[in-house]
């Protein structure tokens, strides 16, 4: 078992390596075969994997019909923030950890030609894939930015909505990500994020498995901690809506089986049904 690095940059590097592999796999096969299984079960696993309890069936056929196949294949999220967020024509949207660009492209359509959608990601092959998908979709009101969500490369008060799909759990410094989201939002702006959340404490051993962290499980914020960090960043109207709840077997199937095998029976019972996909809403006053 690889341990989660204690150094923030080393953790980002491990996450980057994982998602670069996922993007390269889609870039390498999607154009020739039209299908790929992405990077296997330990990512926030691919939309192409219809059996994955976390990533399957997040988007409607109408939404998928409006975007390039490769954008759908690279979908590694755990929700559909663009469906749950209110996005109005003319608004500016920022997607934290935009991956292959699926939510950025869907947002761009929702905000229309007078609006704009930014995608921010730290992984070069993901940015390449996202830009390729943007060109294929023929969408002009989009820009993909390279950077880290802990230091967003946009000015203060510059966007109306911050979305994100299964990324904040991957960060080593979630408090900093939430402060940055608050900084770039204009007053009255909305935080509208899909993420994996745990309700209650996670056994410490769980937090240490890098496979499980990169798979969006081990880094999940505890629900009350998520609320507290949002409030500490300055957000109001905080709401955490559960969209899916997972059994231990489902969490094991999504890539955390080694970690789960190492738990005691009492620890297993404590986490069974406590992992959820949630839609996290908040507002900057
Ligand atoms: C689980 S994937 C989700 C991608 C996309 N949101 C989706 O729903 O398909 C995580 C993405 O976040 C990016 N990422 C992870 N941590 C990041 C960080 N600290 N800063 C910027 N990007 C990050 C990864 O490169 C990867 O593309």
In angstroms, the CA 284 to CA 145 distance is: 23
Shortest-distance Cα residue to atom 5 of ligand 1? 99
In angstroms, the CA 266 to CA 22 distance is: 35
Tokens at residue 141, please? 């009101």
Tokens at residue 89, please? 């024509």
Tokens 């690279």 correspond to what residue? Answer: 74
Instruction: Spell out the domain ranges in the chain.
Output: 8-283
Is the CB of 77 within 6 Å of ligand 1?
Answer: yes
> Residue 3's pLDDT is what?
87
In angstroms, the CA 218 to CA 151 distance is: 22
> Distance between alpha carbon 155 and the CA centroid of its chain, in Å?
22
Is the CB of 184 within 6 Å of ligand 1?
Answer: no
Using DSSP's 3-state secondary structure scheme, residue 276 falls into strand
Atom in ligand 1 nearest the alpha carbon of residue 148? 20
Is the CB of 127 within 6 Å of ligand 1?
Answer: no
Shortest-distance Cα residue to atom 12 of ligand 1? 97
The residues that bridge with 194 in the sheet, in sequence order, are 165, 279
Distance, CA 27 to ligand 1 centroid (Å)? Answer: 16
Distance, CA 205 to ligand 1 centroid (Å)? Answer: 24
Distance, CA 133 to ligand 1 centroid (Å)? Answer: 16
In angstroms, the CA 31 to CA 201 distance is: 43
Distance, CA 164 to ligand 1 centroid (Å)? Answer: 9
Helices assigned H by DSSP within the chain = 8-33, 61-65, 69-73, 81-84, 102-111, 124-137, 174-184, 204-207, 210-214, 223-233, 248-251, 257-261, 265-271
Is the CB of 76 within 6 Å of ligand 1?
Answer: yes
In angstroms, the CA 55 to CA 76 distance is: 6
DSSP for 73-120 reads HT---SS-HHHHS---TT-EEEEES-TTSHHHHHHHHHH-TTSEEEEE
> Residue 46's pLDDT is what?
44
In angstroms, the CA 122 to CA 143 distance is: 14
> Residue 30's pLDDT is what?
46
Shortest-distance Cα residue to atom 2 of ligand 1? 76
In angstroms, the CA 79 to CA 84 distance is: 9
> Which 8-state DSSP code applies to residue 242?
E
Q: How far is CA 20 from CA 14, 167, 211, in A?
A: 10, 14, 15
> Residue 81's pLDDT is what?
95
CATH 3.40.50.150 describes domain 8-283: yes
Per residue of the chain (285 residues), what is the pLDDT tens digit?
688 988 999 999 999 999 999 999 999 854 443 333 333 334 454 444 556 788 888 999 999 998 999 899 889 999 999 999 999 999 999 999 999 999 999 999 999 999 999 999 999 999 999 999 999 999 999 999 999 999 999 999 999 999 999 999 999 999 999 999 999 999 999 999 999 999 998 888 788 888 889 889 999 999 999 999 999 999 999 999 999 999 998 988 877 788 888 888 988 888 899 999 999 999 999
Distance, CA 204 to ligand 1 centroid (Å)? Answer: 24
> Residue 9's pLDDT is what?
93
Size of the chain in residues: 285
> Which 8-state DSSP code applies to residue 263?
S
pTM of this prediction?
A: 0.93
Atom in ligand 1 nearest the alpha carbon of residue 16? 25
Ligand 1, pocket-test mutation among 9, 121, 192, most atoms within 8 A of CB: 121
Atom in ligand 1 nearest the alpha carbon of residue 126? 27
């Amino acid at each position: 078992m690889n341990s989660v690095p204690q150094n923030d940059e080393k953790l980002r590097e491990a996450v980057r390596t994982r998602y670069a592999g996922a993007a390269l796999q889609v870039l390498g096969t999607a154009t020739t075969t039209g299908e790929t299984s992405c990077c296997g079960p330990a990512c926030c696993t691919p939309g192409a994997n219809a059996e994955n309890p976390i990533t399957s069936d997040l988007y409607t056929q109408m939404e998928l019909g409006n975007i390039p196949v490769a954008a759908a294949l690279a979908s590694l999220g755990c929700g559909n923030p663009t469906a749950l967020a209110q996005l109005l024509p003319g608004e500016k949207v920022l997607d934290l950890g935009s991956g292959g660009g699926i939510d950025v492209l869907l947002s761009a359509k929702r905000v229309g030609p007078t609006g704009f959608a930014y995608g921010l990601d730290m992984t070069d092959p993901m940015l390449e894939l996202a830009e390729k998908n943007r060109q294929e979709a023929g969408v002009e009101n989009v820009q993909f930015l390279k950077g880290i969500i802990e230091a967003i490369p946009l000015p203060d008060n510059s966007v109306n909505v911050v979305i994100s799909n299964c990324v904040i759990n991957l960060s080593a410094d979630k408090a900093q990500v939430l402060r940055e989201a608050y900084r770039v939002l204009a007053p009255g702006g909305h935080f509208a994020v899909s993420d994996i959340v745990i309700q209650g404490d996670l056994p410490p051993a769980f937090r240490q498995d890098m496979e499980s962290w990169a798979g969006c499980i081990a880094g999940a914020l505890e629900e009350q901690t998520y609320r507290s960090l949002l409030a500490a960043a300055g957000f109001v109207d905080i709401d955490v809506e559960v969209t899916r709840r997972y059994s231990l077997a489902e969490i094991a199937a999504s890539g955390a089986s080694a970690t789960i095998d190492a738990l005691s029976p009492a620890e297993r019972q404590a986490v069974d049904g406590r992992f959820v996909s949630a839609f996290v809403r908040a507002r900057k006053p």
